[in-house]
Structure 1
Amino acid sequence: MNKALQGPEGRKFYGSVTVGQRGQIVIPAEARKDFAIAPGDKLLVLGDLAQGIAITTIPLLQKNLKGTVELFNSIQPDRNSDNKC
């Protein structure tokens, strides 16, 4: 089994994954271990059309981005509103 390649400032390259027919991917075991990802955990998939996609854990994003919870709450539709999608 290949070890992740270590880069500067704690960055790692864990390898490549293949997207299955249902759009599923498998997160490499070393990445799951490093980020304490367990079965049933929810992950966020973020995207920027110019830079690509990123997958992160909610606690890690909350830790690293000030105001993340407030931002997500502000962009969610108001559940009590008559303007339901």
Structure 2
Amino acid sequence: MDDKLEGKLMSVAKVGEKGQVVIPKDMREMFNIKPGDTILFLADKERGIAIVSNEDYMKFAQSIFEAQKNPFGNE
């Protein structure tokens, strides 16, 4: 029986002297994060930090702006 849950990972990383954290290889592979990619950090003091692909976030934000142009779906 495989102990890993499909699509779930957990890892530990240390913060370096310059505040840098290495994203574990298996997580970079899971999310197709490559050198030079831009990622967005979202923080909430009570809930923690989320790391999001900047490209995916921009697509999401654009969809919100588009929906606001036509809030009822009428053309």
Instruction: Compute the TM-score of the two structures, normalised by the length of structure 2.
Output: 0.66
Are 1:6 and 2:2 matched, yes or no? no
Aligned-residue Cα RMSD (Å) equals 2.3
Q: Relative contact order (alpha carbons < 8 A, sep ≥ 6): 1 or 2 greater? A: 2
Assess if the C-alpha contact under 8 Å between 2:9 and 2:27 holds in 1. Answer: no
Correspondence for 1:29? 25
Alpha carbons of structure 1 residues 21 and 69: separation in structure 2 relative to 1, 3 Å:
farther
Pick the structure with greater CA Rg.
2
Superposed structure 1 runs of 4+ greater than 4 Å apart = none
CA distance in 2, matches of 1:41, 1:22: 19
Q: 1:13: Cα distance to partner? A: 2.5
Unaligned runs of 5+ in 2: 65-75
Q: Percent identity?
A: 38
Total equivalences in the alignment = 61
CA distances 1:9-41 after superposition (whole Å, capped 9, x unpaired)? x3x233111000100000011111111111010
Matched to 1:28, the amino acid is P
Deviation at 1:62, TM superposition (A): 4.5
